[in-house]
Structures are given as C-alpha cells and as structure tokens.
Structure 1
Amino acid sequence: MEKTVLPLLKARLGISSEVRDPLLAAIIKGIVSECKETYGIELKESPDHILFVLDWATWKYQHPEDGVTPRSIQFRLKNLIIKKECTIDESDMG
C-alpha cells in the first residue's frame, strides 16, 4: 500500500523532494496498521482502499495535532467496517 499511496500523497501535497518521505510513509503505515489492529480491516490495493488511505493520510499530514477526523473519512471507515462484518456473516451462513 505504501508504494502505491506515497507518490499520490506527495503529488497531492505538492512535494517533489524525498525529504518528507519517512514522515509520509509513517503516516501511511500508521493508517494501514490502525485499520488492521483496531478495526480488523485488511486494506487491499483496490482503488477505494487506496483513495481512502490517501485522503486520510492527506488530512493527517495537514493536521499534525490530530483533532476530529473529517466526517467523510469517518463515514468511509464505518462503511469498511460494515462491509467487513457483512462478509464475515455471509461466510458463516454457507
């Protein structure tokens, strides 16, 4: 995920050098880890997951003090959680 999102994040933020790469990579890894460890969501290289991580990483970079995550990101995260739970329920029924 990091190799895919990092250049997109740099482009969105207008960063052309590699000076901030370690920070940006840490943000991306943190989001992927939080999704897996906290919410049980395995993010894949699908377009919707890539854009989700990109949007969340952009917000985290621009708001280092954290604060309230935007509702659009919260909404998408909740949808991923619901989708995961529905997939688990469907596999139990078979």
Structure 2
Amino acid sequence: MDAESKKTLLDLLKLDLGITHELRDTYFSSLLETAESEIVRMGAMLDLTKADDQILLVDYAAWGYRKRLENVPMARSIQFRIHNRIIQKAGAADAKSEA
C-alpha cells in the first residue's frame, strides 16, 4: 500500500467512523494494514486503486474497530463482498481468452 493510498484509506475510515481529529491516526493506519492482511489471508486479492476494493477494506476495518470488544459475527454484506473477491480470483486463474 503506497502513501497516497494509505492517506485516502485513512480519510475514508475516519469519515466512516465520524472522527475528525488525528489522535488515533497511527492506530487506524495499523488497523487498515491488519484488515488488508486478514482479507488477503482469507484468499481475496485487493486492488486498492479501485474504489470498491478501498470501500471493502474500510468497511472491514470499521467493522473490526466497532465490534472489537464484542463477539459479533461479521456483517453479511462484508462477507459477501470478500467471498466475491475470492471467487473472482479463482475464476480469473481458470478463465480462457476467446481470441
């Protein structure tokens, strides 16, 4: 993740959480990196130049932040989007060009 992507993702996460100060920026940056690692570990690949992958990462990080003290299952919408990325990755490897 490059510096520009990190800043964009951090800004999006803070907007999602309704936070305007910079006191927790270091924590939120680490949270985003951890969220990306967890999604990749699940088998999905993210292209952080695409808005939908950026929002998926931010949503996953925001869910983790909000639910960190509770034993709450992941939101179904986030699960579906991660599973769709995994299926896309698997399908891309098997896809054949029709040229």
Q: Determine the structure 2 residue equivalent to 1:25.
A: 29
2:59 corresponds, among 31, 55, 60, to: 55
List 4+ stretches of structure 1 deviating above 4 A: none
Cα deviation for residue 67 of structure 1 reads 2.8
Distance in 2 separating the partners of 1:63 and 1:4: 23
Normalising by structure 1, report the TM-score.
0.84
Aligned-pair CA distance for 1:12: 1.9
Task: Note if 1:2 corresponds to 2:2.
Answer: no
What is the one-letter code of the residue matched to 1:88? A
Contact 1:41/1:80, CA 8 A, preserved across alignment: yes
CA distance in 2 between counterparts of 1:70 and 1:40 reads 17
Displacement of 1:15 in angstroms is 1.1
Give the structure with the larger helix fraction.
1
Output the aligned Cα RMSD. Answer: 1.7
What's 2:74 paired with? Answer: 69
